[in-house]
Amino acid sequence: MSVITPTSTDLAYQQCINPSCRATFAVSQTCFACPKCGDLLDVVYDWDRLPVPSRLSEFESKWSDRLNPLNFSGVWRFRDLLPFAPPDAVVTVGEGQTLLQTADKVGQYVGLAPGGLKLQYEGMNPSGSFKDNGMTAAFTHARMVGARRVACASTGNTSAALAVYCSATDFGFKAIIFIGSGKIAYGKLAQALDHGALTIQIVGDFDDAMQRVRQVADRLNIYLMNSVNPFRLEGQKTIMFRVLEGLAWEPPDWIVVPGGNLGNSSAFGKAFIELKHLGLIDRVPRLAVINAAGASTLEHLVGHGLTWNSGLPDAELTESYYQKLDAEHLKASTIASAIEINRPVNLKKCLRALDFCNGVVRQVSDQEIMDAKARVGSGGLGCEPASAASVAGAKRLREEGIIAPSDRVVCILTGHQLKDPTATVAYHGTDQENFEKILGSRGVRRAGFANRPVVVPNDLDDIIRTIALYSDAPTADAAKM
Ligand SMILES: *Cc1c(COP(=O)(O)O)cnc(C)c1O
Ligand SMILES: [Zn+2]
């Protein structure tokens, strides 16, 4: 591979995160691992020579100019903080329209004081998950380097986002998606197919699909859209900018996020490193990354002492854990399919984020995830199973006393409720066989917060009696109607 080195006029470039390498590459380079040592790459900026607002509140001026697509986008209105692309190269479909809800009923479940829990809902993105934040940035880079065919391996949401950016833009992008067999939620598969992506289903799980897509991208010179792509993480930093925006620029005590491939947690860490460096915040929130118990590599490794260690984490520890997974044929398994990943590609960057944000890692069971999801649904905008891991994790940390009752906590709801209706209906429904098949098989024993549909004969009196029985309306009033 030919290497393109940055010139002295480049204000943004790529750099290997390995402190004993630190090789640099121009933004125009397309590679998703350091060509010198194989480690992850960062997008870095020469902040001293870049125009950066002196206060975060200056970004509010963008709100009055929303007819400009760059200002409408919840990613690109922060473009001064991810300045790797000329504005006319930006590929946007209006991503980043998120909102921060105060969710007191969910907060009570978690164990927080009123006003203490906010849910950052990312389901309002064009493809229904936070992935669009990263995709817009990676597609912008793909456009800058003239890529046409773009590919990813996916548990579902990355492929849905990739498919949207190909179908809804006019730059000749062709989507190629790799998914594991039987491992993708229907809502997400539906999106890939509906948006016309070439969908390649291989026998295997996400980790297998990831390995293949890397090989194929290499061999066929296809642009890789997985979160090893450092440009995606630049876009995902803006999730934190919008959290701060929703809190009038006052950092919360905690950010809680589900961890799969660890792109999001890595991006959040980078956002806070840069905001602190630029003097735009004076306090850094603590970060909690939540694994599913059936896919808990990060939790295991951090629990066994793995740390960032100034960029030189103990590779032996990670390698021997992966060898053990292989030897025992252990595959990731959780109802939270979006985080059903055993070999998180951004592990190192996540360790850096944990280091900078005084972070913690926990794992939660599928039971805790499904219960938390039901509470989010009944007290908020709803979410898919993986997203609810954040709420389940916050509850766990609250019970352990690590999060205090008075803390201000933001849980990231990463994906839309309708992404995985199968899990939701299995939990709430009355079909015991379906419950066993979808949830029981993963160790979920109870649906303690189920909202069961009520089966009633098709008879007006029966229906009226049933409504009276299940609601507060007096029977006499109901009968008069
Ligand atoms: C991708 C995804 C995650 C995991 O994010 P990572 O950046 O891979 O850790 C969590 N929740 C949802 C809904 C996702 O789509
Ligand atoms: Zn390197």
> How much is the average pLDDT of 273-294?
98
Instruction: Tell me the C-alpha distance between 481 and 469, whole Å.
Output: 16
| 455 CB burial (10 A radius; 0-12, 13-18, 19+) | exposed
Most confident listed range (207-221, 387-401, 466-480): 387-401
Residue 49 is assigned to a structural domain of this protein? no
Nearest Cα to Cα of residue 32 among 1, 9, 76, 11:
1
- Write down the pLDDT at residue 477: 44
- Write down the pLDDT at residue 242: 98
Chain-wide mean pLDDT for the chain? 95
Ligand 2 centre from 229 Cα, in Å? 15
Does 416 sit in the ligand 1 pocket, CB within 6 Å? no
Does 259 sit in the ligand 1 pocket, CB within 6 Å? yes
Does 384 sit in the ligand 1 pocket, CB within 6 Å? yes
- Write down the pLDDT at residue 207: 81
Ligand 2 centre from 175 Cα, in Å? 29
Query: Under a CB-based contact definition with an 8 Å cutoff, are residues 196 and 123 in contact?
Result: no
Confidence of residue 302 (pLDDT cuts 50, 70, 90): very high
Domain count, the chain: 1
pLDDT in tens, 178-191: 988 776 888 999 99
pLDDT in tens, 8-63: 899 999 999 999 999 999 999 998 899 999 999 999 999 999 999 999 999 999 99
pLDDT in tens, 222-262: 999 988 999 999 999 999 999 999 999 999 999 999 999 99
Residue 221 is assigned to a structural domain of this protein? no
- Give the ligand at the shortest distance from the Cα of 3: 2
**pLDDT exceeds cutoff 70 at 474:** no
- Write down the pLDDT at residue 389: 98
Ligand 2 centre from 153 Cα, in Å? 24
**pLDDT exceeds cutoff 70 at 149:** yes
Residue 278's domain is classified under what CATH number? 3.40.50.1100
Task: Considering only residues 1 and 144, tell me which one the structure prediction assigns the higher pLDDT.
Answer: 144
Domain around 257: 99-127+232-422
Residue 226 is assigned to a structural domain of this protein? no
Using most ligand atoms within 8 A of CB, pick from 414, 420, 424 the residue to mutate for ligand 1: 414
**pLDDT exceeds cutoff 50 at 177:** yes
Confidence of residue 210 (pLDDT cuts 50, 70, 90): confident
> How much is the average pLDDT of 186-207?
91
Token pair belonging to 27:
């933004």
Q: Which residue has a Cα nearest atom 8 of ligand 1?
A: 261
Q: How many CB atoms lie within 10 A of CB 68?
A: 12
Token pair belonging to 362:
């926990």
Token pair belonging to 56:
């975060």
Atom of ligand 1 nearest to the CA of 266: 7
- Write down the pLDDT at residue 414: 98
- Write down the pLDDT at residue 125: 97
Does 258 sit in the ligand 1 pocket, CB within 6 Å? yes
- Write down the pLDDT at residue 480: 42
Query: Under a CB-based contact definition with an 8 Å cutoff, are residues 354 and 302 in contact?
Result: yes
The partner residues of 413 in beta bridges, in order of sequence, read 121
Does 73 sit in the ligand 1 pocket, CB within 6 Å? no
Ligand 1 centre from 336 Cα, in Å? 10
- Give the ligand at the shortest distance from the Cα of 259: 1
**pLDDT exceeds cutoff 90 at 473:** no
Does 134 sit in the ligand 1 pocket, CB within 6 Å? no
Confidence of residue 472 (pLDDT cuts 50, 70, 90): low
| 426 CB burial (10 A radius; 0-12, 13-18, 19+) | buried
Using most ligand atoms within 8 A of CB, pick from 98, 120, 124, 130 the residue to mutate for ligand 1: 130
> How much is the average pLDDT of 315-332?
96
Ligand 1 centre from 134 Cα, in Å? 11
Does 261 sit in the ligand 1 pocket, CB within 6 Å? yes
| pLDDT more than 70, % of the chain | 97
Residue 409 is assigned to a structural domain of this protein? yes
**pLDDT exceeds cutoff 60 at 478:** no
- Write down the pLDDT at residue 479: 43
Q: How many CB atoms lie within 10 A of CB 443?
A: 14
Confidence of residue 100 (pLDDT cuts 50, 70, 90): very high
- Write down the pLDDT at residue 353: 98
Token pair belonging to 444:
């979920």
Instruction: Tell me the C-alpha distance between 275 and 267, whole Å.
Output: 12
Ligand 1 centre from 337 Cα, in Å? 9
Ligand 1 centre from 1 Cα, in Å? 31
Ligand 1 centre from 158 Cα, in Å? 8
pLDDT in tens, 387-425: 999 999 999 999 999 999 999 999 999 999 999 999 999
Q: Which residue has a Cα nearest atom 2 of ligand 1?
A: 338
- Write down the pLDDT at residue 427: 98
Residue 402 is assigned to a structural domain of this protein? yes
Ligand 1 centre from 76 Cα, in Å? 21
pLDDT in tens, 340-386: 999 999 999 999 999 999 999 999 999 999 999 999 999 989 999 99
Residue 103 is assigned to a structural domain of this protein? yes
| Strands 409-413, 117-121: pairing kind | parallel
**pLDDT exceeds cutoff 70 at 481:** no
